[in-house]
Structure formats: structure tokens, C-alpha cells
A = this chain, B = another copy of it.
Amino acid sequence: MTSVELMAREFSHIGSRVPKYDAPEKVSGDVQYLLDLEMPGMLHAKVLRSPYPHARIVSVDVSGALRVPGVVDVITAKDVKLNNLGYLKDHPPLKWGKVRSVRDEVAAVAAVDPERALEAIHAIKVEYEPLPSVTDPLRALDPGAPLVHEEFGTNRANLDFSLEFGDVDDAISRADIVVEGTYSTQYVAHNPGDTMGALAWVDAHGTLNVIANTQTPFLYQRWLAESLGIPAYSIRVIQPYIGGAFGRNLDVYPHDVIVAALAMRTRRPVKLQFTRSEELQNAPTKQPLIARVRQGATKDGRLVAREVDAVIDAGAYVGWGVFDARVMQYTVTGLYRVPAVRFRTTVVYTNNPYTAAMRSAGNSQITFAVESNTEELAERLGMDPVEFRLLNANAPNTVTPQGAKITTCAMSDAIKEAARRIGWRGRHSAGPNRGIGFACYFHVGGGARIYRSDGCGATLKVDDFGGVVVTVGGTEIGEGLDTGIQLITAEALGIPRDRVRVVINGDSTIRLWDVGTHASRGTFICGNAALRAALDAKRQILEGAAQLLGTQSSDLDLRDGFVYSRSDPSRRMEYDKIVRRMHFSKGARGTVVVASSFYEPPSEEPDDRWYGNVSAAYGFGCQAVLVEVDRETGRVKVLKVVSAHDAGRVINPNGFEGQVQGGVAMGIGLALLEELVLSDGRVVNGSFEDYRMPRITDMPEIEAVSVGQPDPEGPFGVKGMAESPVIPTGPAIANAVADAIGVRVRDLPITPEKIWRNLSAKTQ
């Protein structure tokens, strides 16, 4: 039975509301996160970090630390040979010579408890010679600006995501209207439940075992090995239950390498896990963006050109956040139909924190810029924003200028549904101090080839009692991949859902490769791997049944736990009985049902011009937001969000709605509340008292709407949508605020102070 045939029939599981697979152990408290894990003889590590954003290290004296009772090891860069981390290999796990940001690791301690470790950290004497710092990315390229990495001779990082398709200058010059603006987004913390950390030990075989809440266990193995200079096959990565990550844990960080090095030196288990304030101060942040956007359109509202100049502040080292630019590319070139597009990027080193990808990986930032500008353009055209968006909406079976092959696409339906359900009646008609705003998005929905392989493997076994264990390379970080895998496996095999046990996370050495959980790819990619393994297992069972029953397997099907004859459905037998007979029938050479698969999506790495179809499917949607603004305080209250998505077939409405609710919450945080405030590179609001995430009282009514058709490449038609709801929330709110009070805020977050200052300026 092919995937297409499968999609044509009625489902037993797909589309039904099922609780999250790991809900029982999470509700009961049986789950153990990294925070809960301990080992006998385990040491605790702490890191001494630079207090300066930029300084020369004159001397380090660790003798005091070594005298603290209970201290087992103290290391600096002089004690261990570690290779640099990161895409540009610009990031030493332990710093020597100089520090380039406040978080920079200068020394580390392993001691019998965290208190002694901290005491030892305080006993290390470091003499610094402070250097002038540069924390404004726009000034970092000025001649004479302090150099973050002197050896490069410039603060411009050796990365360029610029591209151009079509003749932008010509199109702009011929446009009837051109609107330009500069938009910026802030430093934001990921703030999952889990803080960053790792627990490492060397076992008796000499294998380095690491329990890490990484999102990319197989890349972690590779990069950790490279930094430690040991063979990757001697590293075993184990993932515990992970309490969220949101992109922060895609990379290997200095503390990962430090913990491993301490474990290798002490031959004892060593654990390091950030406290919440360490997390807020030292974890990589969401990538901030400064983007000048210029769009041109014809009088009748057709987009003809888009140009974006982006400044990407890498901070002191190039982290994954910088590669947000690759996601931005696709929105710059692909959101709405625009024939001529240009994207210029400048990646700049500063003495600020370095960055990580965060849910949508650049798309929430660039969509804020583009959709704010789009709204301004529509306004200048005098066009209804819904009408304008419908006119330019993406359409199925088109190719974007950058080469994204759009197959299924229901963006127009999403726009219409959002407008209808929010009660859109045109501009400035939502009532006094109220406004409605819209924003659309274009995002990968079938993986994202940011690495040479975007695949995932699955293995599946059926035991003698019909119990199925499906083991996937994918990573569960709370997103619900486990649930999707169970649903897809049970549906494809044709058996009750409770027979399927999903093995995910845990020991990565027994799982097949997966690039990691990011880019909303899990259910699409790993689901496709599980689907293929399940269909193979089903084929084996039907062939076994045909042999046992003396019939053709083509006449047999498996459904709801029974193998039955298609021509005479009353002839049927429990599938587990078939499996037992295949294994145990006298005279037969026994066989057991086992299958494996590796799904590599039909996407492609971009070429030198950054042209290429990066994903096997794309997601689209539109969000409509109703806000109310308090003119006295400048406070914006979001009253309602309609979040309409073309995510192909929704296989589990609970999961779909959960992602929408979480994404909208995070989007509200980005739009209105959250900001890591920096002063000379240092976070000054590093606690939950000072850093304001959305609370339940900040949450609006949310309507999650599914539009569109099953995608032919997705398992049972699904497209990824985990990141999507966060993307358009910010610009939709900004557009709603403008609709409500005529104030356009172009730099996030939209704080009461900014509103109030804008209103005050207007009334003066």
C-alpha cells in the first residue's frame, strides 16, 4: 500500500485528538530531566567567566581554587588542548590571551558539590587589562573600531548571505510606489523549562558518555569530538527528557566541552547545569536584527520588488543565530509573489552575547520587518491590507525567485479565514483604541536542508504479542514528535495505538541518524521515516499472512489490528496471531518482523547564489490580531488572535492547537514584553523578576484554524508547523497597534514607553 493509497482511506487514528505520548510520565512526575540526574561520585562543575566585555588576560592564578577542600580539578586553556568551536572555528571553549564578551569562560572547576565549586571559582585570581569594547553593530565596522578578533583584521565576519534574483534596481525605478523603513528586533532569551547543561563520564571502555539536553545528538557527537580531539566513535550521547529548548541547544557550547574535559581528566562523572540566572546571563540569545526594507508596488497593488539590508550582530563568536539569515533569505525572496528580490547582509562581530537560533530561526525577525513594511505599503497604496495580501499571496505550484518549489499552498484561504474570524470590516473599524492587524508568513514545512543530510532513520520491531517498538533518530523536546510518531506508526500498520511504544531521545548510539529537532521538521521528516518502516513491517505481515493462509498478499489488508481479506472482509485474523505463526509455525523457517528506513527529503542544498529548494514542502498562514491600547499608559492588550495555518493535514488537533497557543504566547512576548537589556555587553535584567515573559493574564482568546489540503510528500499529508505561529504574531500586533492608534513602532518590543512617547510626540 503506497502512501497515496493510505491517504485515500478513512483513518483510525490520524486526525483524532490524542493526549501527548509522554503526558502520563510528565503528569505523574516520573520524568527525569537533566536537572534530576545524579551519579555516584559525581562532581559538580562551575565556570569562571569574564566580568569585562573586552579585556586582555594578564594572568590567571588558580592556586587558591586548588586549596578549597572538595575541589578535584581546576582547568584553564593552558591545562587542556581544546579545539575551537563553531562554523568559523572562532570560539575557544576556554579563553586565553583575551576575553571578548562578558560570558567568556576563563577557568573551570570540578568539586564535590556546587557550593565548593563556586567557592573555588571565587578563589581564582585573574588580572585583566580592560580594552575598549564595541557593542553597537553599526559602529563595529567604523575604521578604528576596537577589533573583537584582531587576527581577522576586521569586525566583519567571513559570512555573506547576500543574494539577488531579478533586476531589483530596475523594478524599483519603475514601481509606482516605494516604501522604505528600518525595523529592528531585540535580544531575547529562549527560557525553556530546562536550563543548559551536561553530565559526562568516561566508562571503563574508555567511551566518553554525555547526557545532554541537546536538540542535535548526532551533530553534538561530531562537534564535541572535534573540539576534544578524540574519535567521534568513542563518544556516546544520551538525551534525557528535555524540557524545551527552542533552538538554543542546536550547537555544542564551551560548557559542553569543559564538562567533558573535566570528566576525562578526573575519570569521574561531572555535571554542570546553569542556574536560572546563569542561563539568562550566559546562554546564547535569539538573534537580533536591524533591517532596512524597501518594497515597490504598482498602483493596482502588485509587489514588483523587495530589497532588504540586514545587519546581523554575531556577538563575540559566530553561533547558529547568525544562520538565521538563511531562513530570512527565503522570506525576503518568497513571502508573497515578488519577481525581483535582493538581500544584503552584514555579519558583524561585537562584544555582545553570541546568538542561537530560536523558534522560527530568523523568520519572526524578518517577517516583522517585511510585514510591517508591507502594511505601510498597503496603507500608502490606500488598499485594504487583506485585499493587498490576497492579491500578492503565494500560490500552489509556483517557484520563488530563490528556487523554493511551492507545491501545496493555501495562503489565500488562511488570509480569508483570518479576516472573517477576526471580524474584519476595514481599517480603523475595530472600535475606540482598538485595532486589527494582519501578518502572513512563509516557512519551511518539509525540513530545511541547512546540513548536508536532512534525513532521519527509524527502526521498527513487532514482538510476538503485537507489541511494536519504533525507534527514531529524532529528538523530543516537548514538541510532540513522540505523539506524531505513535499516530503515524499505528495508522500505517493498522493497529491499536496503545500497541506502539516510541523510543526517542535516550542513547543515540542505538538510534539511526537524524539532523536534530529544528525547522519544524520532526513530524514531517521523522514521521516519514516511521511511516516507511511501518509500511515495510505491514508488507512483511501481509506476505507472511498470505503464505500462512494460502492466498495473495494483494488481497489482504491490515486494519484495527486485524488482517482481513479485501474480497471477503469477514475472513480475518488478529495480526499478532499472524506474527506468532510467522515466527513459530512448525516446519516454517521462523521469521520476526523488523524493518528500518532512512528518509532523506527531496530537497536540495542551495548553490553558490543561494538558489535551491531547501525544503520538501512549505507552510503558509495568516494571523489576525485584535488589540486594545491604553492611551494613558501605552499598554497594549491583545484581545484575540486568529491563527490560520496551511500545515497540510492536521494529524492531531491537540498538537496543532498546542503549537498555536505556545507560538502565540511566545510571539506576544517578542512583540510586547521580552527583552534582554544589555549594558556594555552585560545582561542587566537577568532574573524572572526583571525579564518579563507572558503570563496567563497576558494571553488572549486564540482561535487555531487549519486550512489547506494534505501535502503529497508529508506523512499522511502533514506539513511542519511547530514554529509557524510565532512568526506573524509580532508584525500582526504592530499592525494592529497602528490600526488602533496610528502609531507605528518599528523596533521590538512595543513597550508602553514607546507607545506613550509616540503618542506624546503626536499630541505635542
Contact = CB atoms under 8 A, between A and B. Distances in A.
A471 interface: yes
B232 A584 contact: no
A30 B206 CA distance: 12
Interface stretch (A99-107, A115-123, A509-517): A509-517
Interface string A445-468: 000000011010101010111110
27 contacts: A25-B204, A28-B204, A30-B203, A30-B204, A218-B463, A221-B465, A222-B464, A222-B465, A232-B463, A233-B499, A452-B584, A453-B583, A453-B584, A453-B590, A455-B590, A459-B594, A459-B596, A463-B509, A467-B509, A469-B509, A469-B510, A512-B592, A512-B594, A513-B583, A586-B605, A589-B602, A590-B598
Contacts of A232: 463-465, 467
A234 B499 CA distance: 8
A59 interface: no
Nearest to A586: B605
Given A594-B596, A594-B598, A510 B499 contact: no
A461 B513 CA distance: 10
Interface in A549-606: 576, 583-586, 589-592, 594, 596, 598, 600, 602, 605
Contacts of A225: 465
A82 to B, nearest CB: 19
A79 B619 CA distance: 57
A428 interface: no
Interface residues of A, number: 53
A501 interface: yes
A233 B463 contact: yes
Interface in A485-530: 499, 501, 503, 509-510, 512-513
Contacts of A467: 232-234, 509
Interface string A300-324: 0000000000000000000000000
Nearest to A511: B461
A2 B673 CA distance: 67
A205 B602 CA distance: 37
A205 B598 contact: no
A24 interface: yes
Would you list the 9 A-B pairs with minimal beta carbon distance, nearest first?
A: A233-B467, A24-B204, A232-B465, A452-B584, A25-B204, A590-B600, A453-B590, A233-B465, A28-B204
A132 interface: no
Interface of A: 24-25, 27-28, 30, 203-207, 218, 221-222, 225, 231-234, 452-453, 455, 457, 459, 461, 463-467, 469, 471, 499, 501, 503, 509-510, 512-513, 576, 583-586, 589-592, 594, 596, 598, 600, 602, 605
A465 B591 contact: no
Nearest to A513: B592
A510 B207 CA distance: 22
A546 B623 CA distance: 52
Nearest to A604: B587
Given A204-B28, A233-B466, A591 B583 contact: no
A27 B510 CA distance: 25
Nearest to A508: B463
A452 to B, nearest CB: 4
Contacts of A452: 583-586, 590
Contacts of A594: 457, 459, 512, 596, 598
Contacts of A455: 583, 590, 592
A596 B469 CA distance: 15
Contacts of A27: 204
Nearest to A496: B233
Contact of A513 (B204, B221, B463, B589): B463
Given A465-B225, A509-B501, A203 B25 contact: yes
Given A461-B510, A463-B509, A596 B596 contact: yes
Contacts of A207: 501
A163 B16 CA distance: 60
B457 A592 contact: yes
Nearest to A583: B453
A453 B587 CA distance: 10
Contacts of A459: 459, 594, 596
Contacts of A586: 452, 605
A221 B464 CA distance: 10
A512 B461 contact: yes
Given A455-B583, A510-B510, 13 more contacts: A25-B203, A225-B465, A232-B467, A233-B463, A233-B466, A452-B583, A453-B583, A459-B596, A461-B509, A461-B510, A463-B513, A594-B596, A594-B598
A109 B258 CA distance: 48
A507 to B, nearest CB: 9
Given A25-B203, A233-B466, A464-B222, A600 B605 contact: no
Contacts of A590: 452-453, 455, 598, 600
Contacts of A471: 510
A465 B230 CA distance: 11
Contacts of A231: 465
A160 B137 CA distance: 89
Nearest to A219: B464
Contacts of A501: 207, 509
A25 B204 CA distance: 5
A584 B454 CA distance: 9
A506 to B, nearest CB: 9
Nearest to A509: B469
Nearest to A587: B604
Contacts of A602: 589
A28 B267 CA distance: 12
A217 to B, nearest CB: 11
A354 to B, nearest CB: 26
Most buried by B among A501, A512, A576, A590: A590
Nearest to A225: B465
